[in-house]
């Protein structure tokens, strides 16, 4: 999926959705992302808001994984739980549906994560613009 497709996919969210999606979550609402690294092993990271999830999820440096002596790791999230978290907890049903569509493709985990990047880039941009507008008013 290229960026222009992501821009066409989402209607502009309203301020209520942006506020809900960007809020700080409770312990019960958190998402767990596994950070797997050959040097340190697996560490579970609990994220308590959407920007934090985006930061961790897209932090994998895929190009470094196969280099000799690389200590690069992978951020892994259970795709089914992630989609449910986006729709039910974050509250962005449109984003959850688009991510589910990408995850349904029969491709590698890396390709799935790369496919959803434009979705998040567009949606986070929309949220950011709304948050700025709301703060100015």
Identify which of 96, 132, 117 has the alpha carbon closest to the alpha carbon of residue 1.
117
Looking at residues 35-57, what average pLDDT do you find? 92
Instruction: Report the relative pairing of strands 31-37 and 74-76 from DSSP bridges.
Output: antiparallel
Identify which of 31, 18, 1, 5 has the alpha carbon closest to the alpha carbon of residue 92.
18
Q: How many domains does the chain have?
A: 1
**48-90 residue pLDDT tens:** 999 999 999 998 776 656 555 556 688 999 999 999 999 999 9
**107-117 residue pLDDT tens:** 999 999 999 99
Looking at residues 113-125, what average pLDDT do you find? 94
Tell me the pTM.
0.87
* Host H or E run for residue 24: none
- Containing domain of residue 83, as a range? 3-136
Q: How far from each other are the two terminal CA atoms of the chain, in whole angstroms?
A: 35
The angle that helices 93-103 and 109-136 make with each other, rounded to 10 degrees, is 170
Identify which of 61, 63, 33 has the alpha carbon closest to the alpha carbon of residue 47.
33
Q: Quick one: tokens of 124? A: 């986070």
Pairwise CA distance, residues 135 & 103, whole Å = 35
């Amino acid at each position: 999926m290229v960026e222009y497709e992501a821009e066409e996919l989402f209607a502009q969210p309203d301020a209520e959705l942006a506020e809900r999606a960007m809020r700080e979550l409770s312990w019960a609402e958190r998402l767990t992302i596994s950070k797997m690294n050959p040097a340190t092993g697996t560490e579970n990271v609990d994220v308590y808001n959407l920007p934090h999830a985006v930061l961790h999820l897209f932090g994998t440096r895929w190009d470094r994984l196969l280099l000799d002596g690389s200590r690069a790791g992978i951020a892994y999230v259970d795709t089914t739980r992630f989609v449910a978290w986006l729709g039910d907890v974050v509250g962005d049903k449109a984003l959850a549906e688009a991510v589910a569509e990408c995850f349904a493709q029969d491709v590698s985990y890396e390709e799935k994560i790369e496919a959803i990047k434009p979705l998040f880039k567009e949606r986070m941009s929309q949220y950011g613009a709304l948050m700025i507008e709301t703060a100015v008013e």
